[in-house]
Amino acid sequence: MEARDARTRAPAAFLGAHAGVALRSIQDERAAPRDAGKRATRAGVRRDGVKMQSGSRSRVDCAERVSRRRFIDALVVVPAAILAGGGGAIGRPAYAATKDANKELLECLTNVVQSQRSLKKASVYLDKANWDKARTYVVYCTRKLRLRSSMKKGAELMADQSKFVDAMECAAELDNILTQLDASIYTAIFIPPGLDDDGFEILAPEALRYQAEGRAYYAEAMSFLDTYVSLFPAELVSSARERARTRQEVIDMTELTA
């Protein structure tokens, strides 16, 4: 029990010990064939009496390659188990089960849900070619709500760590998409309007192109947000949505009409 507790409290220390044991075991395996075959390999003869050809590799060389591979595997598998929450005693503690962690997780998920609402508003202004207001709502997600950080932290705190990789992938993809969405809207701001046959201002062809790009990025962003939210329990998502609806933010009080 003490060993299990120690490994849970200090996975890094356990990793070092695990790697050390693996290395010593491998060194012992390598020493025996090397010592036994030293005289034979010097003479160019394998231990089974067959003469070695020039440039061929001895069994000792093959054993060393296998041993190195086993050692690397030992270093890779253990951290992977720690990150994934697997491996029993060496898995990460159930951090999301604590009261403080649950509170922090709810806050992170609330920011994500709030971002969904904010991006819907950005889409309304994008359709109206009201570039400044559309961009305001996008920047609100990335800077005010710190969406990327909230998604990454939420992934770390989620109780079901088998979904950790999917959640982190959503965070990375969404960060890139929102950067592209912001760039499309920002570029459209500086495109002068065109004129129709009657002399009225209309969106220039380039502005229309960036508007279409923005709509595509918006659709992608909402898809990844929906996927991310679906990784969490329905009860937790419901609580986050309720908090997002009641949260009093200055930007939420902006009218959705141009």
Tell me the per-residue pLDDT of 225-257, one tens digit each, with 9 for 90 and over.
999 999 999 999 999 999 998 885 544 555 443
Burial class (CB in 10 A: 0-12, 13-18, 19+), 250: exposed
According to DSSP, residue 78 is labeled H
Instruction: Please answer whether residues 27 and 10 qualify as being in contact, where contact means their C-beta atoms are separated by less than 8 angstroms.
Output: no
Q: What is the pTM of this model?
A: 0.61
First to last CA, the chain: 65
Residue 252: the pLDDT is 54
Residue 193 and residue 207 in contact, taking contact as beta carbons nearer than 8 Å? yes
The ranges of the chain annotated as CATH 1.20.120.290 are 95-253
Q: What is the pLDDT of residue 249?
A: 55
Second CATH level (architecture) for the domain 95-253: Up-down Bundle (1.20)
Give the residue-averaged pLDDT of 187-215: 93
Query: Do the Cβ atoms of 240 and 109 come closer than 8 Å?
Result: yes
Burial 223-248 (b: 16+ CB within 10 A, else e): ebbeebbebbeeebbebbbebbeeee
Smallest CA-to-CA distance from 82 within 173, 154, 179, 13 is with 13
